[in-house]
Amino acid sequence: MSKQIQAIRGMNDILPDQSGRWQALEQVIRQLVASYGYSEIRMPIVEQTELFKRSIGEVTDIVEKEMYTFDDRNGDSLTLRPEGTASCVRAGNEHGLLYNQQQRLWYMGPMFRHERPQKGRYRQFHQVGVEAFGLGGPDIDAELIVMTARLWKALGLSEYLTLEINSLASNEARANYRAALTDYLQAHEAELDEDSVRRLASNPLRVLDSKNPAMADMLSRAPKLSEYWDEESRSHFTALCERLDAVGITYVHNERLVRGLDYYNRTVFEWVTESLGAQGTVCAGGRYDGLVGQLGGKHTPAVGFAMGLERLVLMLEHTQSLKVPDPVDIYIAAMGDSAELPALQVAEKLRDHVPHLRVMQHCGGGNFGKQLKRADKSGAALAIILGEAEVQAGTYTLKYLREARDQETVDWTTLLERVLILQSEKED
C-alpha cells in the first residue's frame, strides 16, 4: 500500500460533524451584517507580497515571520493573505469604491499565517472582517462595536467576552509617546526579555503587548499613551465611550492595547475571553485613516475589525449555546421493488411543497431493519415508509423517530399536514 498523504500542519479539515456548527455560525453572521446594511466583498486569497509589506508594516510579527510567500512561475513574489483589510483597501482603490464615498463592507474566508499551531492558533484559519470607509467620526466606530456586541448576544457568548478599548491617537501624538516610552524602556533594559529588546529597537509600542509576568510591574509604571493624546483624539475617544454607555455596552480602557499591525490610529479595540487559554482574543479592530492613502488611494478615513471563526467555534462547542440543526428532517424508506419509484416520487413531491425541507432518500436497498437503522442515524425526526401495501393503497406509513408516538398510515394530504407542522416546529 502506498503511503497516505497528510494535510499540512496547522491546516485543518472541517469535517461533516463540525460543518453544521460552522454553517450555523456563518448564518448568524450573515444576518447580522445584513441587519446593519453591510455588503459583501470577495477578494482573492493571493496578493502581491508588496501589498502586505506596505500596509501591515515591515517590522510586525506578521510580515517578519508569519507570511506564506513564494515566487510564482513568472518570478513575481506572491503571498497567501494573512488578513483581509489590505486586500479590501486594495480592491476598493482599484475599483474606485472609496474616494469621496461611504462604503460598509464585509468578507469571510481563509487567512494564512506561519505560526506555531496550537489550540486557537492555526496556519490556515478563517476570519470575518467588517470595514467601513469614508466615515471619520466616533459614530461609525461605535456602530462596529455595537454590531459585535449584538453578535455575542445572538451566539449566547456575551457573558464570556470583555471589551477592551484604547486610542492610539494621531501619528504625531504617538511619535511623541514612542520617544518617551523608548526612554523609559531603555532605562529598564535589564528587565526586558529577548523579544522585548528586539521590539524596543523596531516597534517599541509592541513591548506593551508583552504577556511576560516578570515585566508586568515595570510596564505598569511606564508612561501612559493617554498622557500624550492630542485634543481631537481625546474627544473622539470620549464620544465613543458616550455612545457605548448610551446602549449599555461595558468596556475596559486598556492603556496597553496597541494592536500588532502598523496601520492603526485612534480607536482600537479587542474582545477577549478567559475561556480559550492564551489565544484569548476573538475579535480585534480599529481605525486606520492613513491606509487608503498609503496604498495609493486618496485619503479616506476607515475603521474595521476582524474576528477569528475557529476561536468562536471553540467557544460555541464549549457553551453549546448555538443551536446546530441535524442535517436531515425526513428519511424515506422503500421496502421491495414496487416501492422504489413511488418513494422517489413522494420525496420529490415533498421537496416541491415544503420549502427548506431536508429529505434524505434511502439508496442501496436492504431489509426493513437496515433501512430504519439508517433513518435513525440520519438524525431525521420522521421516517416515511413505503411498502407494497402502501403503494397499493396510495398511503404512507409514518414512524416518529424522536418522540414516543404511535406509527400511523396516512394519505398524501395528511402526510403533507404532518410535515408542515414538523417544519414549523423546527423553525420556532
Q: Per rule CB under 6 A, is residue 84 in the interface with ligand ATP?
A: no
Q: Per rule CB under 6 A, is residue 381 in the interface with ligand ATP?
A: no
Q: Per rule CB under 6 A, is residue 125 in the interface with ligand ATP?
A: yes
Number of H helices, E strands in the chain: 15, 16
Could you tell me where the DSSP H helices lie in 36-114? 49-56, 61, 85-94
Backbone phi and psi for residue 345, each to the nearest 5 degrees, phi listed first:
-65, -45
What 3-state DSSP class applies to 144?
helix
- Residue in 48, 120, 126 with CA at minimum distance from that of residue 87: 48
- For ligand ATP, the nearest residue by Cβ is 308
Please give the C-alpha separations between residue 322 and each of 26, 284, 354, in angstroms, as whole numbers. Answer: 11, 22, 25
* C-alpha triplet 399, 327, 426: angle, nearest 5°: 65
* Chosen residue from 53, 92, 308, 343 binding ligand ATP by CB under 6 A: 308
Q: How far is the CB of 305 from ligand ATP (least distance, A)?
A: 8
Could you tell me how many residues of this chain bind ligand ATP (CB under 6 A)? 19
Q: Between residues 311 and 362, which has the closer beta carbon with respect to ligand ATP?
A: 311
Q: Which three cell numbers stand for residue 68?
A: 506564506
Q: Per rule CB under 6 A, is residue 107 in the interface with ligand ATP?
A: no
Sole window of 33-41, 230-238, 288-296, 300-308 interacting with ligand ATP (rule: CB under 6 A): 300-308
- Report the C-alpha gap between 416 and 351 in whole angstroms: 11
- Report the C-alpha gap between 303 and 286 in whole angstroms: 6
Q: Per rule CB under 6 A, is residue 147 in the interface with ligand ATP?
A: no
Q: How far is the CB of 225 from ligand ATP (least distance, A)?
A: 18
Q: Per rule CB under 6 A, is residue 272 in the interface with ligand ATP?
A: no
Q: How far is the CB of 66 from ligand ATP (least distance, A)?
A: 8
Q: Per rule CB under 6 A, is residue 344 in the interface with ligand ATP?
A: no
- Report the C-alpha gap between 205 and 200 in whole angstroms: 8
* Chosen residue from 21, 53, 81, 121 binding ligand ATP by CB under 6 A: 121
Sole window of 120-128, 222-230, 234-242, 409-417 interacting with ligand ATP (rule: CB under 6 A): 120-128
Sole window of 238-246, 289-297, 301-309, 403-411 interacting with ligand ATP (rule: CB under 6 A): 301-309
Could you tell me where the DSSP H helices lie in 107-256? 138-155, 171-187, 194-202, 213-220, 231-246
Q: Per rule CB under 6 A, is residue 206 in the interface with ligand ATP?
A: no
Q: Between residues 67 and 357, which has the closer beta carbon with respect to ligand ATP?
A: 67
* Chosen residue from 254, 281, 319, 395 binding ligand ATP by CB under 6 A: 281
Q: Between residues 205 and 398, which has the closer beta carbon with respect to ligand ATP?
A: 205
Which residue has 510596564 as its cell numbers? 219
Sole window of 16-24, 102-110, 280-288, 336-344 interacting with ligand ATP (rule: CB under 6 A): 280-288
Please give the C-alpha separations between residue 311 and each of 7, 32, 35, in angstroms, as whole numbers. Answer: 20, 18, 23
408 close to 398: Cβ distance less than 8 angstroms: yes
Q: How far is the CB of 312 from ligand ATP (least distance, A)?
A: 8
Give me the residues paired with residue 80 across strands.
46, 68
Q: Per rule CB under 6 A, is residue 115 in the interface with ligand ATP?
A: yes
* Chosen residue from 311, 358, 362, 399 binding ligand ATP by CB under 6 A: 311
Q: Between residues 129 and 290, which has the closer beta carbon with respect to ligand ATP?
A: 129
* Chosen residue from 20, 260, 366, 387 binding ligand ATP by CB under 6 A: 260
- Report the C-alpha gap between 103 and 96 in whole angstroms: 11
Query: Interhelix angle for 138-155 vs 16-35, to 10°?
Result: 140
Contacts to ligand ATP by CB under 6 A? 83, 113, 115, 120-122, 125, 127, 260, 279, 281-284, 306-308, 310-311
